[in-house]
Amino acid sequence: MSVNLTLLTVMGALYACGIYLILERSLTRVLLGLMLLANATNLLILTTGGYAGLAPLFHKDTDPGQYNDPLPQALILTSIVISFAVTAFMLGIIYRTWVLARQDEIQDDAEDRRVAKTPSFDAEDDSVVPVETSEFPLTMIGTDGQSVSDVPAGAEATVTVADRTLDADAAASEEQPGSRNVTIPSKEGGGQ
Amino acid sequence: MNIASFAPLAVILPLLGAALTFLLIRNSRAQRTVSIVLLSLTLLLECLLLASVWEGGTAAVNIGGWLPPWGIVLVVDQFSSLMLVVSSSVSLAVLIYATGQGMADGDQDAPVSIFHPTYLILVAGVSNAFLSGDLFNLYVGFEILLTASYVLMTLGGTGPRIRAGVTYLVVSVVSSVLFLIAIAMIYGATGTINMADLAVKLADLDQGTQNLLHVMLLVAFGIKAAVFPLSFWLPDSYPTAPAPVTAVFAGLLTKVGVYAMVRTETLLFPGDTFNAPLMVAALLTMLVGILGALAQSDIKRLLSFTLVSHIGYMVFGLAMSSVAGLGAAVFYVAHHITIQTSLFLVTGLIERRGGSSSVDRVAGLAKLSPLLAVLFFVPAMNLAGIPPLSGFLGKVGLLQAGIQLGTPLAYALVIGGVLTSLLTLLAMARVWNRAFWRKPEDAEHPDPVLLAHPADSATGDRAGKTNVTLLPRTMVGSTLGLVIFGVGLTVFAGPLFKVADQAAVEMLDRTSYIHAVLGEGARVPAISEPEPGPDPARLPPASGQERK
């Protein structure tokens, strides 16, 4: 099989330009690059069919050296149709990008950027759960409605606060804001 | 009359449906009926095809009466018909889900009416790729499904979808060009593009040419199958598409790439020339994919990364080129199509019910919708490989095959596989904890729909829109159907594994395929071994039989 050097050179040039163009950020150039790649491939298929210039006509008496292989030409037709459809669609996409973003460039993925900026520390997964360190834990109420603190029931647990002596239970509830046992501070900021 | 001679109908019926639904573009009810009926017929036909080759054997159909190796040939064997049945079941479920979504949202505008024809063309392309016994016809099948997928991915033409569509389009076109270049070079080297004929003729080429052609095909299919370094495009482009579209893409498109890789490795270039690089690629795909998934907060993106990661398992099974490994890979493909699609469908439901698909913004769904929680929990645990489910069985098959092979690389992959499985569980548990177990009040910027009083949330108003049903029965029903199908794969794992192993034996043997296409007298070249000597991993292993 003889090789057509012109076709090969053209094919190489088309591939080189096509690869250069699809690496651009501008969509129109990317489209041109894809078209060049598709056409370079069509030329490649054509060269597999034998020397260009012979007719792909077969007759029983034809010498194999006298006709061109018709199959690559059928393949090229199919691939031209496919690349035509893709080009048309890509033009539609480019127009749509222009309408939406007023620029002919590939946009960044916003979610990708966001994930990349997310710190590796995740408040929900990684933060240390605060351990109860209070010396006087609030009384816990069991399912039966009784207190389940380790102070035995009936023990007269009292706490001395300032000048008063209170029940431990009442003192615990007093520590919470909004408790009715707590005296609201006067406007001067003093206590009682 | 052999049932296999009706195989072309698996491509023609969806195409016919596409033409009809395009004519019925103004009548959405008729569109729905036509596409569901034709897809069901296709599924029925494919079940018959699978039944006809259930016991083994291969059938070939010559299109247009042209004899192979000149004409186009469609080949039905166990692997292709199994893939057809699983893919059509999944596409039918997604179609019903999508019509449910369209009806619920009451959208009557243009994008939804072109959904049906495009979707059916996609199904036709997938069927064509699975059935094709001819390299160029495989390329055409790929192009049919890709062109349909470009349209589906940019449905509606919103900003994010166009942006994602551009990435997807350019990457797909480049991979198709690579595939076409490979076809041209293969044709130049051998003078044929019939796959059975190539199996005979490629063996006569010298090793260097063979390796070049082999790598070209693997790279082209590797981009389509999203094998690591070539997987970058997938998590970028899939999540923005509408939920049913993402679901069907995740389930089918990458698996078509895996299918083509399996055919390349078993039929065209048998032997273990590229097994070591494939195994390294599989290991990196698994680990890099799952580590990417852990960083995501959007459930769709997270699932896209797990999709990439689990492609690694299939490549691992393929790269072992042993019956046990390939059989497990075939089973794993069938399992993964179903599970990944159901997870994406459930995510669509989560998005409707919770108002967002970000795990930071949804919470408390387990209490708000227990059914949704079950629908998510079962496939999520299946994906992670929790024991009774099919994900576990597939992974155990792969790990067994890896240990049988016994090379250091295979052990590395076994460890990597277990690690990936655990990390998948972690990723799924994070979604579960946040989206389902947290109190709704803990979510960041929750959607009003999430905090709405339970009494009016079942069919209540959605913020911004009026009278949108949150969880339409059709959508929940089709998701439930697919989840049950996934559980069915577990229940019938015995017979399925038997068929998968048989398919693997036949694919590695190649005699059945070549004889079915080229006639009984065709020569089947011996598989060239770089190091002569019996390879224990290549022989049918005992455990493959025990698993039945």
Asked if B164's CB is within 8 angstroms of A109's CB, the reply is: yes
C-alpha distances out from residue B486 to B158, B340, B490, Å:
33, 10, 7
CB B222 within 8 A of CB B274: no
Question: Could you read off the pLDDT of B338-388 as tens digits, one per residue?
Answer: 999 999 999 988 888 877 788 888 888 887 788 888 889 999 999 988 888
Q: Residues of B with CB below 8 A from A100's CB? A: 157-159, 162
Option in B136, B169, B193 nearest A90 (CB) = B169
Q: From the CB of residue A79, how many other CB atoms can be counted at a distance below 10 Å?
A: 24
Amino acid (one-letter) located at B284:
L
Q: What is the dihedral of CA B315, B320, B326, B330, to 10 degrees?
A: -10
Mutate to test the interface with A, among B144, B170, B362 (most CBs of A within 10 A): B170
Partner residue facing B181 (CB), from A44, A78, A112: A44
CB pairs < 8 Å spanning A and B? 92
Q: Closest by alpha carbon to B230, among B341, B312, B147?
A: B312
Q: Kindly give the residue spans of alpha helices, DSSP state H, lying in B296-322.
A: 299-319
Residue type, A12: G
Tell me if chain B has a CB within 8 Å of the CB of A126.
no
- What residues of chain B lie within 8 A of the CB of A48, using their CB? 184-185, 187-188
Q: What percent of chain A has pLDDT over 70?
A: 56
**What is the least distance, in Å, from the CA of A139 to any CA of chain B?**
25
Phi, psi of B30 (to 5 degrees): -65, -40
Q: For residue B295, what is the nearest residue in chain A, using CA coordinates?
A: A115
Cβ within 8 Å of residue B548, ≥6 positions away? B494, B497, B498, B501
- Position A1 scores a pLDDT of 53
Residue B160 has pLDDT above 70, yes or no: yes
In angstroms, rounded to a whole number, what is the distance separating the alpha carbons of residues B421 and B305? 13
Contacts of A72 in chain B (CB under 8 A): 184, 187
| Average pLDDT, rounded, for chain A | 73
SS3 A79: helix
Tell me the pLDDT tens digit for each residue of B257-288.
Answer: 999 999 988 888 887 788 889 999 999 999 99
For B19, the token pair is 């033409």
CB B489 within 8 A of CB B334: yes
Q: How many CA atoms lie within 13 A of B323 on its CB side?
A: 21
Give B426-480 pLDDT, tens digit per residue. 999 988 988 888 877 777 777 776 666 554 444 444 433 334 567 778 888 888 9
Partner-chain residue, chosen from A44, A71, A86, that has the shortest CB–CB distance to B173: A86
B183 touches chain A (CB under 8 A): yes
Q: Taking a C-beta distance cutoff of 8 angstroms, is the pair A18, A37 a contact?
A: yes
CA distance B148 to B249: 11
**B154: contact with A, CB 8 A cutoff:** yes
Confidence bin at A20 (pLDDT 50/70/90): very high
Residue B153 phi/psi, 5-degree rounding, is -70, -35
Contact A111 B301 (CB under 8 A): yes
Query: How many Å separate Cα B437 from the centre of its chain?
Result: 31
Residues of B within 8 A of A71 (CB-CB) are: 187, 193
Q: Which of A127-136, A167-176, B95-104, B424-433 has the highest mean pLDDT?
A: B424-433
B110 touches chain A (CB under 8 A): no
Here the tokens at position B49 are 């095809």
**A160 or B228, greater pLDDT:** B228
Q: How far is CA A189 from the centre of its chain?
A: 55
Optimal mutation site among A14, A22, A37, A112, interface B, most CBs of chain B within 10 A: A37
With beta carbons under 8 A apart, name residues in chain A contacting B160: 110
CA distance B16 to B124: 10
- The greatest distance separating any two alpha carbons of chain A, rounded to the nearest whole angstrom, comes to 125
B17, HSE (Cβ side, Cα atoms, 13 Å): 30
Residue B412 has pLDDT above 80, yes or no: yes
- The verdict on a CB contact (< 8 Å) between B163 and A109 is yes
**Can you tell me the mean pLDDT for B379-404?**
89
B170–A115 CB contact, under 8 Å: no
Decide if A30 and B170 are in contact by the 8 Å CB cutoff. Answer: yes
For residue B59, list its beta bridge partners: B76
Phi, psi of A56 (to 5 degrees): -85, 45
Q: Which helix (H) or strand (E) holds A164?
A: strand A164-167
pLDDT tens profile B213-253: 999 999 999 999 989 888 888 888 888 888 888 999 988 89
Restricting to A residues 149-188, those with a Cβ less than 8 Å away from any Cβ of B are none
pLDDT tens per residue, range A131-156: 666 666 555 555 566 655 555 544 55
Residue B113, phi then psi, degrees to nearest 5:
-75, -25
Q: Give whole-number Cα distances, A34 to A96, A146, B116, B127, B150, in Å.
A: 19, 77, 29, 27, 15
Instruction: Give the pLDDT confidence score for residue B477 in this predicted structure.
Output: 87
Q: Does A82 touch chain B (CB under 8 A)?
A: yes
ipTM here: 0.82
For chain B, percent of residues with pLDDT exceeding 70: 90
Q: Provide the sign of the torsion angle of the four alpha carbons B260, B266, B271, B277, taken in this order.
A: positive
**What is the C-alpha R_g of chain A?**
42
Name the pairing type of β-strands B73-76 and A158-161: unpaired
Of B328, B306, B330, B318, the closest CA to residue B279 belongs to B318
A100 Cα to chain B: minimum distance (Å):
6
Which residues 6+ apart lie within 8 Å of A44 measured at CB?
A11, B181, B184, B185
What pLDDT is stored for residue B130 in this prediction?
Answer: 93
Q: What is the DSSP letter of A128?
A: P
Statement: residue B411 has pLDDT above 80: yes
Rounded Cα–Cα distance for residues B191 and B116 (Å): 39
Of B154, B185, B188, the CB nearest to A93: B154
Amino acid at A79: S
Give chain A positions within 8 Å (CB) of B358: none
B chain contacts of residue A87, beta-carbon cutoff 8 Å: none
Work out whether strand B59-62 and strand B73-76 pair parallel, antiparallel, or are unpaired. Answer: antiparallel
- B16 has a pLDDT exceeding 80: yes
Retrieve residue B170's tokens: 């350019």
- Is the bond preceding B69 in cis, omega lying within 30 degrees of 0? yes
CA A170 to CA A151: how far, in whole Å?
A: 14
Which residues in A lie closer than 8 A to residue B169 (C-beta atoms)? 86, 89-90, 93
What gap in Å lies between CA B311 and CA B253, rounded to an integer? Answer: 12
Q: Calculate the average pLDDT of chain B.
A: 84
Residue A132 sits at the vertex; the CA angle it makes with A130 and A136, to the nearest 5 degrees, is 155
Q: Taking CB atoms and an 8 Å cutoff, what residues of chain B touch A86?
A: 147, 150, 169, 173
**Mean pLDDT confidence for B14-34:** 86
Q: From chain B, pick out residues whose CB is under 8 angstroms from the CB of A30.
A: 170
User: What is the DSSP pairing of strand B59-62 with strand A158-161?
Assistant: unpaired
> So what's the pLDDT on residue A170?
56
- Grade residue B425 by pLDDT with cuts at 50, 70 and 90: very high
User: Given pLDDT bands bounded at 50, 70 and 90, which one contains residue B424?
Assistant: very high
**At which residue do the structure tokens 């009083």 appear?**
B453
Would you place residue B72 in the very low, low, confident or very high pLDDT band (cuts 50, 70, 90)?
A: confident
User: What proportions of chain A, in percent to the nearest 5, are helix, strand and coil?
Assistant: 50, 5, 45
What pairing do the DSSP bridges indicate for beta strands B73-76 and A164-167? unpaired
pLDDT at A169 over 70: no
Contact status, residue B463 vs residue B355, Cβ threshold 8 Å: yes
Task: Tell me if chain B has a CB within 8 Å of the CB of A96.
Answer: yes
Query: What's the rounded Cα separation, in Å, for the pair B134 and B62?
Result: 11
Nearest Cβ partner of A45 from B150, B159, B184? B184
The answer to whether B91 and B338 have CB atoms below 8 angstroms apart is no
Distance (Å, whole) CA B43 – CA B38: 9
Instruction: Name the residue facing A107 among B163, B180, B185 (closest C-beta).
Output: B163
Q: Which of B167, B174, B176 sits opposite A22 (nearest CB)?
A: B174
β-pair type (A164-167, A158-161): antiparallel
> What distance in Å separates the CA atoms of residue B509 and residue B526, rounded to the nearest whole number?
9
Record: contact A100-B166, CB cut-off 8 A: no
Nearest chain B residue (CA) to A108: B163
Residues of chain A in contact with residue B183, where contact means CB-CB under 8 angstroms, are 45, 75
Give which of A14, A106, A107, A120 to mutate to test B binding, by max B Cβ within 10 Å: A107
> What distance in Å separates the CA atoms of residue B431 and residue B357, rounded to the nearest whole number?
10
Interface of B with A in 123-142 (CB under 8 A): 136, 140
Q: CB distance A100–B159 less than 8 Å?
A: yes
User: H helices within B296-407, ranges in order?
Assistant: 299-319, 323-354, 365-368, 370-384, 390-405
Q: Residue B546: what pLDDT?
A: 40
- What is the signed CA dihedral for B270, B523, B513, B134, rounded to 10 degrees? 80
A contacts of B430 (beta carbons < 8 Å):
125
Query: Could you please report the per-residue DSSP string of B475-523?
Result: HHHHHHHHHHHHHHHHHTHHHHHHHHHHHHHHHHH-HHHHHHHH-TT--
Q: What pLDDT is recorded for position A132?
A: 60
